[in-house]
Amino acid sequence: MEKLKQCYKILPMLVFLVFLGGMAVLLFALPDKDYSPNEKRYLASAPEVTVEGILSGKTQEDLEKYTADQIPGRDFYVGVNAYWNLATGRNAAQDIYYCDGGYLINAPKAMNETVFTNNLTKFDQFAAQLGVPADLIMVPSTGYLMEEVLPTFHGAYDDDQLYDLASQQLQTVRLIDVREDLKEGKENGQICYRTDHHLTSYGNYLLYRSYQIAQGAPYLSRDAYEVASYDGFYGTTWSGSGYWGVAPDRLEVWDSGIQPTVTLIDGGMEPQVSDSLFFPSHLEEMDKYPVFLDGNHSLVTIHNPAAAGSGSVLVIRDSYAHCFSTFLAANYENVYLVDLRYYRQSLSQFVAEHPVDKVLYLYGVDNLVSDTNSAWLQ
């Protein structure tokens, strides 16, 4: 009887050791995964073991990352951890709030006023250098726009404060305030995705309409588009949250019927040319957002011959402009999209070779407090 009691005492430890041993065997026996479709990122590979790496601690650090990324059943454990944090009152443990209606919303970013004002200064200086009218659209954060679905206890979003700073500082660039247009638009449709940080196609239509009104220019009515809907869209906030049980979004493609020439350019790679603003192969993926202009590229040019004589616009932007530009293209002969995260050429030289009538800076407000790539404006 006494031996049986001792066995019961050590049984949990034995089970745990067997579990660890089994996981270790699987870790090294199973082939490594290169990419996590759920988290939308590349996973760590087996580290190279060197004497220098061991002495500096880099090998141990890389091995820890490798083990965490390649552990069998990783998606399951990430999900369990996320829901455990939620159940124990630690909403936003992954810096993403689990909200009413199945919304997954990024927690507020710490406001770096220095980065923000430096970006505005660079925008002003470059616009003055070009000598053409320039505007700035700051896309408000989802948390600001959808405050009614946020959890009771949440951080403060600084969108209003940042808009105030921008309106006070900008000298050459005009700030187009889209806050109320978007908030009022909620009465007639969904403006923000539940699982992604971007605006929906309807939300981007509202941005486009606001921009055209600010130009004193016409815009297409809502019924001018053929709308196709696609289920099964899981965006960036879903990928970073671990809340795998949240229902997917529906993504809409609004097609005005124009037939442009779209050229995608990246560094020294061969340009890709398309006759469509939309890239349907991405609709087969979990993250369908790259259906708009094929996602991130350093330079995208859109030539719309049907809009001949309507002028050219340079859009200096982040990913918030992908969907927006599919609307804008209907009204301009040329739209040039430059992403300073990747573009490393002289933008002044580009404009000298491709004259523009106006400039639009379009960024998510969250990115303007952290992105320092405006330093490449020259």
- Find tokens 């790496």 and name the residue: 53
Report the amino acid identity of residue 24: A
At position 74, the amino acid (one-letter code) is R
* Contact assessment for residue 44 and residue 69, using Cβ atoms and an 8 Å cutoff: yes
Measured CA to CA, the distance from residue 374 to residue 340 in angstroms comes to 7
pLDDT of residue 111: 86
CB–CB of 220/210 below 8 Å?
no
**DSSP secondary-structure letter at 36?**
E
Closest by Cα among 227, 354, 352, 286 to 337 = 354
**Which pair of structure tokens corresponds to residue 299?**
């330079």
Are 70 and 44 within 8 A, CB to CB?
yes
Paired with 278 in beta bridges are 292
Place of tokens 């991130």: 296
For the purposes of burial, counting CB atoms within 10 Å of the CB of 241, is it exposed (0-12), middle (13-18) or buried (19 or more)? buried
Number of continuous H segments (helices) and E segments (strands) in the chain: 13, 14
Task: Give the pLDDT confidence score for residue 310 in this predicted structure.
Answer: 86
pLDDT for 67 equals 53
- Cα separation of 300 and 293, whole Å? 8
Measured between alpha carbons, how far is 321 from 292 in angstroms, rounded to an integer?
Answer: 9
Distance CA 101, CA 272 (A): 40
Q: Which of 172, 212, 203, 204 is nearest to 310 (CA)?
A: 212
Burial of 283 (0-12, 13-18, 19+ CB in 10 A): middle
Chunked in runs of 10, what are the mean pLDDT values of the chain (378 residues)?
Answer: 56 50 47 50 58 66 55 64 83 89 94 95 97 98 97 94 97 98 97 98 98 96 97 94 94 97 92 97 96 97 91 97 98 97 94 97 96 93
Residue-level pLDDT at 217:
95
pLDDT of residue 27: 43
β-pair type (299-303, 261-265): antiparallel
Quickly tell me which residue has 């990419």 as its tokens: 35
The amino acid occupying position 368 is L
Residue type, 342: Y
The span from the CA of 348 to the CA of 346, in Å, is 5
What does the domain layout of the chain look like in residue ranges? 2-73, 104-376
Q: Residue 27 in contact with residue 70, Cβ under 8 Å?
A: yes
Pair 291, 253: CB distance under 8 Å: yes
For 141, counting Cβ atoms within 10 Å of its Cβ (0-12 exposed, 13-18 middle, 19+ buried), the class is buried
As a whole number of angstroms, the distance between CA 257 and CA 99 comes to 37
**Dihedral pair phi/psi, residue 374, rounded to 5°:** -65, -15
Kindly report the pTM of this predicted structure: 0.84
> What is the structure's pLDDT at 187?
95
| Alpha carbon distance 282, 189 (integer Å) | 24
